[in-house]
Amino acid sequence: MQVIHSIKEMQQITKELRKAGNSIGYVPTMGFLHEGHLTLINEAKSNNDKVVISIFVNPLQFGPNEDFDAYPRDIERDENLARNAGVDYIFYPEVGEMYPVDLSTKINVTKRINVLCGKSREGHFDGVATVLMKLFNIMMPDRAYFGLKDAQQVAVVDGVIKDYNIPVELVPVRTVREEDGLAKSSRNVYLTEQERREAPELYKSLQKASQTIFDGEKDLDKVKTAVINAIQEKTSGIIDYVEIYSYPELEEIKEPKGKIIIALAVKFPKARLIDNITFSI
């Protein structure tokens, strides 16, 4: 496995890999790898000749009061995990390599962003789309793997790929969880012991909500209120949002029908956690 810092070198490598007839599976990450990332890497390994990942905490997708500086980073640990998982190349650029000057163009995501994280993190998905446009041109993958834990991101990236005719296949991957149901996240290390004990309640409340809908509940406000009440009663977190939409359109629905998502974001003092459940009814 090689760690590459320069865009030019990485592009040269991916060009040569493709010329030699290799298919490339790509996993974009912000590092501090966990089993969620490793599942994406495994998927990429099973379906491609070569696996490349990027580790880049992208300043463009963080708001001024968010955790860009505090985001956990540990490249040595990541290198070991990636090597053991069979990654061929890690692209690990400095911020100055990716953004040596102010960009003269930025992607402005226009659909599916007035809800969920797009609403509470202004400009976040513009930053995600812009960095991915750069990364796709550097990594030149056949397939790119994204986790459904970030379901809105999957929907937005699908739009970017289609809008700009990027020759890459988006592969969504199921959410990987701890044994108690908490979605794996690099940010989980910032939970206190007490918060960590409370955090599985997020997924439990989503499961209960989906069960109520399967059992015939049609009133989605009632379902949302039950989730909000459970989180408020059983955790010390502050709810950012609990919403139910159609998926992947992320449009409001009057009653459960077709594929839907129940999504939430809850803020603990040092970690904002997101989770969701999608299902068809």
Pick one of 185, 188, 205, 235: the residue that binds ligand AMP (CB under 6 A).
185
Cβ 57 vs Cβ 31: under 8 Å: yes
Query: Nearest 5°: phi and psi at 146?
Result: -130, 145
Closer by beta carbon to ligand AMP, 40 or else 250: 40
- The residues with which 24 forms a beta bridge, in sequence order, are 50
- Count residues near ligand AMP (CB under 6 A): 17
Q: Does 40 bind ligand AMP (CB under 6 A)?
A: yes
Q: Does 124 bind ligand AMP (CB under 6 A)?
A: no
**C-alpha 199, offset from chain centre:** 18
Q: Does 210 bind ligand AMP (CB under 6 A)?
A: no
Pick one of 24, 183, 242, 261: the residue that binds ligand AMP (CB under 6 A).
183
User: Minimum distance from CB of 211 to ligand AMP (Å)?
Assistant: 22
Closest CB to ligand AMP: residue number? 147
55-84 residues in contact with ligand AMP (CB under 6 A) are none
15-34 residues in contact with ligand AMP (CB under 6 A) are 29-30
Cβ 136 vs Cβ 144: under 8 Å: yes
> Can you read off the two tokens belonging to residue 148?
């459904």
Torsion angle in degrees (nearest 10) through CA of 97, 98, 102, 104:
130
What residue spans of the chain are helical by DSSP H? 7-19, 35-47, 75-85, 95-98, 116-120, 124-139, 151-163, 193-198, 200-214, 220-234
Closer by beta carbon to ligand AMP, 37 or else 124: 37
Which of the ranges 67-75, 103-111, 180-188, 234-242 carries the binding residues for ligand AMP, by CB under 6 A?
180-188
Between CA 138 and CA 14, with CA 53 as vertex, the angle to 5 degrees is 40
User: Minimum distance from CB of 32 to ligand AMP (Å)?
Assistant: 7
138-177 residues in contact with ligand AMP (CB under 6 A) are 146-147, 149-150, 173, 175-176
Q: Does 87 bind ligand AMP (CB under 6 A)?
A: no
**One-letter identity of residue 82:** A
- The residues with which 261 forms a beta bridge, in sequence order, are 245, 278
The Cα–Cα gap between 62 and 66 comes to 6
Q: Does 44 bind ligand AMP (CB under 6 A)?
A: no
Closer by beta carbon to ligand AMP, 146 or else 245: 146
Site string for ligand AMP, 245-274 (x = CB under 6 A): ------------------------------
Please say if 37 is a catalytic residue: yes
- The residues with which 252 forms a beta bridge, in sequence order, are 245
The residue whose two tokens read 């890497």 is 41
Cβ 255 vs Cβ 162: under 8 Å: no
- Which of 5, 34, 37, 124 is labelled catalytic? 37
Residues carrying an active site annotation: 37
Residues near ligand AMP (CB under 6 A): 29-30, 36-37, 39-40, 146-147, 149-150, 173, 175-176, 183-186
